[in-house]
Structure 1
Amino acid sequence: MSRQQYSRLDLIGEELMKLQDKKITDKIISFLINTSKYVYVKLDIPADLYVRANVLCDDIETLSEEEFDQNRLLSILYDDFLRENRMKEALFQLYQRLTVHDRRAPSIKGLYEIHNQRIENDEYYELTVRIKRKEALRGEVLLSDLSNVYPKHPYTLEMVLETIYIDFLNDIKKGGNYKAVKELLKRMAD
């Protein structure tokens, strides 16, 4: 039986390989290859939301007088997501949050492709973000836990990051960005 991967990075697989390495030379090579503190994840973001996020990041940068880009924005959003899931969000709520994109017009490219519903004239921007390896691994483990309750779920770390990003930006579209800017400035001060 093959093991399911929960991201293109397959960090769980890397960790399992480290445990299987018997020879000292294999352990040294594995240590050298897998000791990076950060990993890079590619996300497919609707182009209009990418532009909106750039404007938001410029606003934050201007107000805070600190460098602020989409990588930092997603890092804050993902930290909040992990904190919520550590403290209170049940697997059912996580699954519900991810599947909500299946029931209405999905905005996540990965879900379009899985369900053969991708609309060809939608434009996407490939955003590469850098996140801490241990946080990416934590996200994969969370998805692995989710598969114990929902064994055939199609979700990956990339889809989770896309969902967090897109939900946040869609909320800004609906309610303006004053509250979001205020909250992001507060988080930067923490």
Structure 2
Amino acid sequence: MNKSFSGLSLLNEKMSNSYKGLFQSFFSSKKYINVKLPYYDYLRGQVFIQDLRDNYPEEMSYSFDIGDLIHMLYMDFLQQIKRGVKNEDVAVYLKQSMEKYFPTKLIEQRVFKQVSHYSFQYEDMEEFEENEEDEEKFAYLDIRAAEKIILRGEILLYDLSPFLNGTSVTLEQLIAIIYLDFIKNVQAHGNSIAVQQTILKKISIK
């Protein structure tokens, strides 16, 4: 296995390394995964958390931050997967989300290639690259999670590969998609009491 499903590439590491004992496993139980978000959506999440603190000062932990919110949403997503969502349905969701949040643009290039000792011809080449506006700002967050939770996400993406029809998705992108879906819903419908109380309940049982 050569393809990496996150910057940490835990699945490749587990597949290529032999068991190294409980001692190493203990000290490598937590990892940081870097998630890139559009800066506005990052700020919108900060405002959402501040609204929770303002509305529920006695129930809201002051240490709870946007990294905790993203981790919570990712864990909820994994719980849904464990309940038996079809891989085909998850793949459709991810393909649509990649087009929505990580659009790519097609770049056509003409390459002059030698086809024989005396003959050359132009060949059209197509490449895809992530379409990012130069003026758009991004936030980069280090999300701390248990190694087994990160590995679970990588294994999910590996299982989904046959259904993604060539669409490449990393764990960092998956986590960003989950958060962006949540915050775009808040942006569209406002900070509803139902959503706020759902988050509070999850914090209380964390």
- Tell me the TM-score range normalised by the shorter chain: 0.7 to 0.9
Unaligned runs of 5+ in 2: 106-127
In the alignment of these two chains, the number of paired residues is 178
Larger relative helix fraction: 1
2:124 is aligned to none
- The alignment-based identity, stated in percent, is 25
Larger relative strand fraction: 2
Aligned pairs for 1:31-180 within 5 A? 32=24, 35-62=27-54, 63=56, 64-66=59-61, 67-103=63-99, 106-108=100-102, 111-112=103-104, 115-150=129-164, 152-178=166-192, 179-180=194-195
Unaligned runs of 5+ in 1: 22-26
Matched, 1:184 2:178: no
* Partner Cα separation in structure 2 for residue 135 and residue 33 of structure 1: 14
Match of 2:17, SS?
helix
Match of 1:177, SS?
coil
1:24 is aligned to none
2:119 is aligned to none
Match of 1:125, SS?
strand
Mark the structure with the bigger radius of gyration: 2
Amino acid at match of 2:153: G
Q: How far is 1:148 from its partner?
A: 3.2
**Contact residue 6 and residue 140 of structure 1 kept, 8 A:** yes
RMSD: 2.3
* Partner Cα separation in structure 2 for residue 119 and residue 42 of structure 1: 20
Q: How far is 1:17 from its partner?
A: 2.8
* Partner Cα separation in structure 2 for residue 92 and residue 120 of structure 1: 35
Amino acid at match of 2:33: V
* Partner Cα separation in structure 1 for residue 178 and residue 156 of structure 2: 15
Q: How far is 1:177 from its partner?
A: 1.1
Match of 2:32, SS?
strand
